[in-house]
Amino acid sequence: MKFPTHFAAFAAASLALSTGATAQTVQMTVQAGDPKLQISKHIYGHFAEHLGRCIYGGFWADKDSKAPQQGRIRMDIVEALKKIKVPNLRWPGGCFADTYHWHDGVGPTAQRPKMLNLWWGNTLEDNSFGTHEFLELCNLLGTEPYLAANVGSGTVQEMSNWMEYLNSNEDTPMVLERRANGHPEPYKVSWWGIGNESWGCGGNMTAEYYTDVYKRYATFAHNYPGTPLKRIVSGANGDDAHWTETCMKNIPLNQMWGLTLHQYTLPTGSWSGSKGKATGFGEDQYFSTLRNCLKMDAVVSKHAAIMDKYDKDKKVALLVDEWGVWTDVEPGTNPGFLYQQNSLRDALVAGTTLNIFNNHCDRVRGANLAQAVNVLQAVILTEKDKMLLTPTYHVFDLYQVHQDAQYLPLQFSSPDYAFGNEKIPALNASASKDAKGAVHISLVNLDPTKALTLETALPGVTWKTVTGRVLTSAKINDYNTFEKPNTVALAAFNGAKKRGDKLAVTLPPKSVVVLELK
C-alpha cells in the first residue's frame, strides 16, 4: 500500500517516537524577555551569486526552458521563496562581486559585453542577468536587495556611479541612462556591502589596509533623498578576532551600519582535501557536521564581545551573510559549480544555526544562507524545468514565524548526544512572541536515536492550545530527489500537550519541531 507523502512523513515521526530509546526529560522555562528586543526578519535572508546554476539555469531560465517565467525569471522559484517570506537577497557575490563591473550588465542585452567568470569554473558570463533583472527579481519576491560593491578590482567612482544610477532622480548622465534603460523612478537600494571577503578573494588585504580602503569608499557612498544607505563592512573569516577588532577600532561607527561574518560548516572541518559527503555519510560525519555547526555560537559570541567594546549601544549590526554546510560536490558535476545535495542533516544544521542567530538577536540582525538555488546548502534545486524543495527549505518555512517577533529567552540544560569519546548538546531551541501574542518555540533534537521529553514552564504566558509541525525522516542521510521530492517533508506534530499550566513535549530523534501556543 502506497501512503501519501505527507502521511509518510507523519509515519516517520511516529516511528521515531515509538522506536527511540527511553526519552530523557528536560526542564525548560520560557522567560518574558525584553519587549523591545526583536528577532530581525533579516536573519532569514538568502544569497544569489553568479556561481554554477544559481543564476543561469536557476533564477534565470534557459532560453529554451518551459518552466513558468516572467521575462526569463523563473516564477516557480519566486513563488516558493515568497512562501517563506525571504526578507533580503544578496547579489552578485561572493567572490564574483569583486570581478563584476555593473555597467556591463545594463542596457540592451545584445550589446552587453561578455566576461569570464574566473572564480567559478572559467565559464562565459553573458551579463544577460544584471542590475535591472536582479531588482525585478527582488520586486517579484517582495524582498530587500542587498548589493555587494566591487572593491577588489573596481573603483570608488564605479561604486558611486552605481549608487547614483539606482538612487538619484536628478537629470544626471547616470539617471538619464537608467531612465533610457526602462526604469524612470529611482530603485532606492539601501543595503550596500563595501567589498566581500577582503581578507581573501576580495583582495587578500590586511585588516589595517582594508579599513583605510573602506573609509575611502564609504566617504563616497552618498545618501540620496528617501534612501539612507546601510553601509556594510566586509568582516571576518570565521573566528578571526583581529579583523573584527581592527574594523571596530579604525572605522567610525557613523560610517557603518553593519559588519559581516562568514562561517561555514564543513563535515570534516577541513578546507584541504575532502570536505565530506553530502549524501551516503555515516554517523561519524553526521556527528562531526553537527559538532562543527555548533561552533557558530562561540564564533558569534566572540565577535559580539569585541563589537560591544566599541559599540556598547549595539548600533552596528552583525551580519552573518554567508553561512551553511559546504560539502564535496555531487559526483560527475563541475567542481567549480559547488552543486551538492541536501539531506535531513542539513535541515538540522539550518534549524540549529537559526536558533543560534535568534538567541543572539541583540547583535545579529541579518544573515544570508549560501546559497538560494543549486549551490551549497540551497533551499531549491532545479533540473531543467523541474524544481524541488530541499529539507533546508522546510526549516525556513517552519521558522518564518520568528521574523520580527519579540525574542523570548529560554532556560534549560540539554542532555548530551555522545558519539565515540565526544559529546555535544542534543537539544537547541529559540522562542518568540508575535504581534498577535502567539508564542512560537523552535526545537531541534540532534540525537539520531533518542527522543527527548520536555516539561516547559511559561510564566506570564496565557495560552489554551498548542499546535506544531515536525521535520524528520527515517534516516539521518535521507534527501529529496526529482523522482522522490517528498522523502523529507513537513508533517503535523502531535507530540505536544497542555498539562496544567505547563507544556509537555516529546521530541522525536533527529527532528526539527516548531510549536505555536495560543
Q: Where are the beta strands (DSSP E) in 118-227?
A: 123-125, 144-149, 191-194
End-to-end CA distance of the chain: 37
Q: Tell me the longest C-alpha to C-alpha distance in the chain.
A: 72
Three-class HEC string of 18-78:
HHCEEEEEEEEEECCCCCCCEECHHHHEEECCCCCCCCECCCECCCCCCCCEECCEEHHHH
Chain position carrying cell 533564477: 59
Are 388 and 374 spatial neighbours (Cβ–Cβ below 8 Å)?
A: no
E strand or H helix at 134: helix 131-141
Residue 451 to residue 510: CA distance in whole angstroms = 8
Q: Which of 170, 322, 455, 483 is an active site residue?
A: 322
Cell numbers describing residue 455: 516539561
CA distances 139 to 20, 235, 292, Å, are 46, 28, 36
Q: Which of 49, 133, 144, 197 is an active site residue?
A: 197
258 beta partners? 232, 317
Q: How many CA atoms lie within 13 A of 222 on its CB side?
A: 14
| Whether residue 455 lies in the annotated active site | no
Q: What is the DSSP string of 95-127?
A: GGGGG--GGGGSS-GGGSPPEEETTTTTEEE--
Phi, psi of 512 (to 5 degrees): -120, 125
| Whether residue 330 lies in the annotated active site | no
Whether residue 94 has a cis bond before it, omega within 30° of 0: yes
Phi, psi of 469 (to 5 degrees): -130, 155
CA-wise closest residue to 517 among 458, 470, 471, 472? 458
CA distances 245 to 41, 216, 235, 251, Å, are 27, 19, 10, 10
Q: Which residues are catalytic?
A: 197, 322
